[in-house]
Structure 1
Amino acid sequence: MFRTANAGSTVFFAQTKFVDIATNAFKKWLKHHGLPMFLKDEFPKFLNQQWPQHLKSLDEYPRFTFADVQRLKKFLGEDWVIHHEDHHPQKVMIFCPRLYFQGACRTWNDAQLFQPLSGSAEPWKYQVQRLAPAHILKAYPWGFQKTSCLPSGFVFLKAKKEYLMGRTLISHFKAYHSKLLKACANALLMMLRHCWPQHSGQQSIPQTWKHIHEFFERLDSVDDYQPVVCNDDLVGFFNSIPQDRLLCATQALVQDWIHQKGDGPITVNMDVGLSVAERTFRGKFYHRPKHSVVLYPIHLIDVIAYSFRSCIFCALGAVWKQIRGTGIGNQVSPVISEVAIAHIEQTWSRVYNTWRHQPVYPTLRVRQFELENVGLEISRCVDYSLCVATRS
Structure 2
Amino acid sequence: MKRVVVTGMGILSSAGVGVEQFWNALLTAGRGIAEPVRKVEIPQVLKPGLARRMDRFSYMTLAAGKMALEDSGILAAEPDLNRVGTVFTTAYGALASNVEFARKLLTAGPNLTSPTVFASTVANACIGHTCMNLGLKGASTMLMGSSAVGYGFDVLRAGRADALLAGGIEEYHESVETSFRQKGFLEAGLEPGVVVCRPLDKNRQGVALREGAAVLVMETLEHAEARGANILGEVRGYGGGFSAISPERAVEPIDSKSFADAMLTALADAQITPEQIDAVVMAAGGSRGGDYAEAMALHDVFGERGRTIPVTTSKGLTGEAMGATASMGIATAILAVAHQTLPPTAGYAEADERLQLNVVAGTQLSGEYRYVLVNGFDIGGNIASLVLAAKEGQV
TM-score (norm 2): 0.21
Of Structure 1 and Structure 2, which has the larger fraction of its residues in helix?
Answer: 1
Larger radius of gyration: 1
> Higher relative CO (CA 8 A, sep ≥ 6), structure 1 or 2?
2
